Structure 1
Amino acid sequence: MDEKALDIFSAARARRDVGRIREALAEVKAGDVARVIVRSPRYGLYALERTVRIGVGGQPLVGDVILATSSEIQRIDLGIDAPQAALEADVVDPSTLPHGTPVRVTFLTPTHQTFALTGPITAGNDRFLLVGSWIVADEQEAVVPGGDRSG
């Protein structure tokens, strides 16, 4: 993984940046590109980047994170470059990625368009590998450590 991708974590504070979160919430609108850094008790510290959309209840969302209500959000960065799917990325056998391996994964889906996840691989006692709450690999899929994976 390149140093730039990991820089977002070295800048993460030990506590939530409430002031910066409030500022971002006052500015954010549908169509903005945002990076949300999440600290989950279950999945650790990870980042999700994608276009902001408005959910059913009128709340802004980035992926599965409701920006105005999630107590796990550490920081919201607006005005970042939109993530690009890495369609030419190398693929790696998921069995070579131990728990905790830092990865950056991109997805291209009809629902979410292109979005990116950055963080450590979480491996459990099943066939799935996750970054945050997102499944990034199973027995038939692959991800690229330190690079991108598009699916």
Structure 2
Amino acid sequence: MDIQEIYPDYTYPSLGSPLTTEGRAQELNDLRMIRAAALYTERGNPDALQVETLRFLQKSVDVAYAEGVRRYNNGVLKPRLSQNEAIGNFVDQQVRRNLQIHFNTYRLNWGRGQNVTINNRDYDRSASDVTYRIPDARVGRVSFDWTLMRKLRASPQIQGFSLPTRGRMR
């Protein structure tokens, strides 16, 4: 679907074609995100926003991790328990802040009670005992988690994140 099907008078605010490959890639990412935000806010369809959120997170986590390692090696990050904990805490803070800025840039409502969350509890009310998980981010029924630890399908956190497919977690 083209963005002009949603906003017929839309034109991309550009000063001309970017000269670098990175500039062209950023412009393309911006256009995809504008389209995803429009589909979500105007049509209630989170699918494209889920894909664009994943793209954003992959790059943001990689950049934050590299910066965290650099800071740790330079003595800026002090471990409380371990190197991975220090770097992981740095990555969490950076990526959450970047994602908040990213969603705000595209005027996406996020937070408690919204269909888009960052570090909020998702409650499972399917049993008599209410439980919850805290995904790093969620868009619709897709949860995102970034971690330095290896997690498998059998990991309790991952098991809990699969609960929204039953439609009972929020």
Asked if TM exceeds 0.5, the reply is: no
Task: Give the alignment's TM-score, normalised by structure 1.
Answer: 0.26
Flag the structure with more relative contact order, 1 or 2, with Cα contacts below 8 A and sequence separation at least 6. Answer: 1
Please tell me whether Structure 1 or Structure 2 has the larger radius of gyration of its CA atoms: 2
What is the TM-score with the length of structure 2 in the denominator? Answer: 0.24
Normalized per residue, which structure has more helix?
2
Give the structure with the larger strand fraction.
1
